Structure 1
Amino acid sequence: MENVDYIIVGDGYAGLFFAHQLIKNKKSFVLFSEGKKSASQVSAGIINPVVLKKFTTFWKAQEQIDFLKNALGEIESYTGKNYLIEDPIHRVFHDENEQNLWLKKSKNEDLQYFLNDDFKHLEIVNNPFNTGKVNQSARLDVNNFFADLFTYFAHHSHLIKEKFDYSQLNTIESIYKNISYKNILFCEGMGVKDNPFFSDIAVIPNKGHHIKVRLSKPIPENITIKKKHFLFPTHNGLFFYGGTYDREQLHHHIDDSAVEQLVKGLSEVYPYDFEVAEVNFGFRPTVKDRRPIIGRHHQNKNLYVFNGLGARGILNGCYFSRSLFEFIENDIPLDEEIDLKRFM
């Protein structure tokens, strides 16, 4: 019988950032990964403190940015790599009204450190009204982040590459197959709907597509361009463009209408030829109040859930992993805004 402090079920941002808390605090664990690419693993990896439709910010934005940078430094200490790509977002303005709104909002106390009031004109892409730079924005090197952490987990016997079987879980004796555990954490994204302990949590699937394209003319380097969607360089000479938001078409295959939307959007900002090389999609677990869902099962007191990270999975997953760890280990109450209890 193997004894561990934690079983983690799920291999997206929630699971990996919580695993980092366990490594940092010298707790033993195993993480179950089915080997399918989660929504996190096909995400853009955008780190952004601003809602770019309305030029507003969100709850704990600065704290989350600061905490993420610190955590990525800690992760670098055992993987040997830093996954922060400090290519800031340049938001392409639609018209002068957006320019004026940006300038007005940049004077607000909660936005003055994020909205840069020095507008830039970019070469190659269409931006007749210039662009505004989002200070402190960046990207995560998604591919290497997941690949390296899975390699590290496998090397240290933390990774179990199989689907978690709920029927094999003995919650009375806290045993799963041949593993005795103190706590078990479910962070399965939309997979939670098949979980008999937390299937009723209030997450709503939001399907997102993105395309990877070959551009006939390279765009400016070391930035991320945003108009309708995000455009930036990725691996193998390809560029990422996406992603869409869809709460209606929830089948598990590519929507042609979403691809058309992306091709049209890219054509508006990039006036040269391009070729679509790849199409991906995933299901973000979103919540009506835009807060994660974190908490303890009402009956089985060593079963926990960490879900509902939405489109800000990196920031939410990193920052609130500590809140959950402190709640489990030190009985420090969760913020009411993220506590599972708010739906009861």
Structure 2
Amino acid sequence: MKNVDYIIVGDGYAGLFFAHQLIKNNKSFVIYSEGRKSASQVSAGIINPVVLKKFTTFWKVQEQIDFLKATLEEIKSYIHENFLIDAPIHRIFHDANEQNLWLKKSANDELTNFLDKNFDHLNVVKNDYQTGKVNQSARLNVSGFFAGLFNYFEKNDHLVKEKFDYTQLKPSESVYKDFNFKNIIFCEGMGVKENPFFSDITVNPNKGHHIKVKLSEPIPENITIKKKHFLFPTGNGLYFYGGTYDREQLHHHIDDSAVDQLVKGLSEFYPYDFEVAEVHFGFRPTVKDRRPIIGRHHEFNNLYVFNGLGARGILNGCYFSKELFDFSENNIPLHTEVSLDRFSK
């Protein structure tokens, strides 16, 4: 039998950022990965402190941004690369009313550090009413982040490339197959619905599509353009455009209506020819109150869940990984807003 402090089940942002907390604190672990691309791995990687539909912000936004930047520097110490891309969001205004609303909101204390008061006009794309820059916004190099961490896990014998088998788990004995473990962290996204220990947690799938396109006229490399969706270069002559939100069409194949929506959305502000080269989709695990779900099993104190990161998977996964670590290691209470217990009450 092999002894480990932690088994992590799931290979999205929740699992990888929690694994970083274990590396940082010299804990032994293995991470189970089925090898299928999770919703995290096909995500845009947008780091955005502002809800760009209404120009509002969200809970603990500055703390989450600061913590992410510090965490990516810590990861750099053993991966030897910082995956943060300095490419701020430029939101195309639909009309003069949106310009005025942006300026009005930028005077609010909670938004003044994020909504730039100086407007820009971008070349190539249509932006008759200019664009507003979101300060402190950026992107994560998603493919690099996952490739770098998976490579590190494999080299250091942390990675188990197989589906976790719940029937082999004996939580009362702290045994799973040939592992003796201290704790298991289930970070499975929508896969949690198959988990007999946490299948009743209230996460709902939100299906998101994005397309990779070839543009006949390139856009600037150092920005992320947003109108209805996000547009930015991904290398190899391709650009990411997405993503959609759909709570109804939840089958596991491409929705032509979602692709049509994206093509139409891009055509609204990109006036040149483009070609759709790839289509991707994933299922974000979302929660009604827009807070992650973190907690300990009601019967087995060695089983934990970390889920419901939603569309802010990078910020939520990074910030709350430490909260979960402090809870599991030192029994430091969770914020009531993210605790699994909020549903039992």
TM-score (ref. length: structure 2):
0.99
Amino acid at match of 1:288: K
Please tell me whether residue 270 in structure 1 is matched to residue 270 in structure 2.
yes
Amino acid at match of 1:135: N
| Cα displacement string for residues 110-139 of structure 1 (whole angstroms, at most 9, x for unaligned residues) | 000000010000000010000000000000
Q: Hey, what's the Cα distance between the residues in 2 that align with 1:265 and 1:228?
A: 6
SS in 1 for 2:118: coil
SS in 2 for 1:207: strand
Matching residue of 1:161: 161
Q: Hey, what's the Cα distance between the residues in 1 that align with 2:310 and 2:117?
A: 29
Matching residue of 2:91: 91
Matching residue of 2:215: 215
Deviation at 1:331, TM superposition (A): 1.0
Deviation at 1:220, TM superposition (A): 2.0
SS in 2 for 1:108: coil
Q: Hey, what's the Cα distance between the residues in 2 that align with 1:62 and 1:172?
A: 40
| Cα displacement string for residues 86-112 of structure 1 (whole angstroms, at most 9, x for unaligned residues) | 100000000000000000000000000
After TM superposition, the structure 1 = structure 2 runs for residues 100-249 of structure 1, keeping only pairs within 5 Å, are: 100-249=100-249
Q: Hey, what's the Cα distance between the residues in 2 that align with 1:235 and 1:88?
A: 17
Q: Hey, what's the Cα distance between the residues in 1 that align with 2:269 and 2:37?
A: 29
Matching residue of 2:301: 301
Q: Hey, what's the Cα distance between the residues in 1 that align with 2:88 and 2:218?
A: 17
| Cα displacement string for residues 278-306 of structure 1 (whole angstroms, at most 9, x for unaligned residues) | 00000000000000000000001110000
| Cα displacement string for residues 145-200 of structure 1 (whole angstroms, at most 9, x for unaligned residues) | 00010000000000000000000001111100000000000000000000000000
Amino acid at match of 1:125: V
Matching residue of 1:254: 254
Q: Hey, what's the Cα distance between the residues in 1 that align with 2:101 and 2:171?
A: 54
Matching residue of 2:331: 331
Q: Hey, what's the Cα distance between the residues in 1 that align with 2:319 and 2:220?
A: 32
State the percentage of identical aligned residues.
78
| Cα displacement string for residues 178-231 of structure 1 (whole angstroms, at most 9, x for unaligned residues) | 000000000000000000000000101000000000000001220000000000
User: Mind listing any 5+ residue stretches in structure 2 that lack a counterpart?
Assistant: none
Deviation at 1:25, TM superposition (A): 0.2
Deviation at 1:256, TM superposition (A): 0.2
Q: Hey, what's the Cα distance between the residues in 1 that align with 2:227 and 2:172?
A: 53
Tell me which stretches of 4 or more aligned residues in structure 1 moved more than 6 Å: none
| Cα displacement string for residues 58-97 of structure 1 (whole angstroms, at most 9, x for unaligned residues) | 0000000000000000000000001000100000000000
Please tell me whether residue 22 in structure 1 is matched to residue 16 in structure 2.
no
Amino acid at match of 2:293: I
Q: Hey, what's the Cα distance between the residues in 1 that align with 2:77 and 2:327?
A: 25
Q: Hey, what's the Cα distance between the residues in 2 that align with 1:269 and 1:285?
A: 30
SS in 2 for 1:234: strand
Amino acid at match of 2:121: H
TM-score (ref. length: structure 1):
1.00
Q: Hey, what's the Cα distance between the residues in 2 that align with 1:13 and 1:190?
A: 13
Q: Hey, what's the Cα distance between the residues in 2 that align with 1:14 and 1:273?
A: 38
SS in 1 for 2:173: coil
Amino acid at match of 2:120: K
Matching residue of 2:54: 54
Note the aligned Cα RMSD (angstroms): 0.4
Deviation at 1:235, TM superposition (A): 2.4
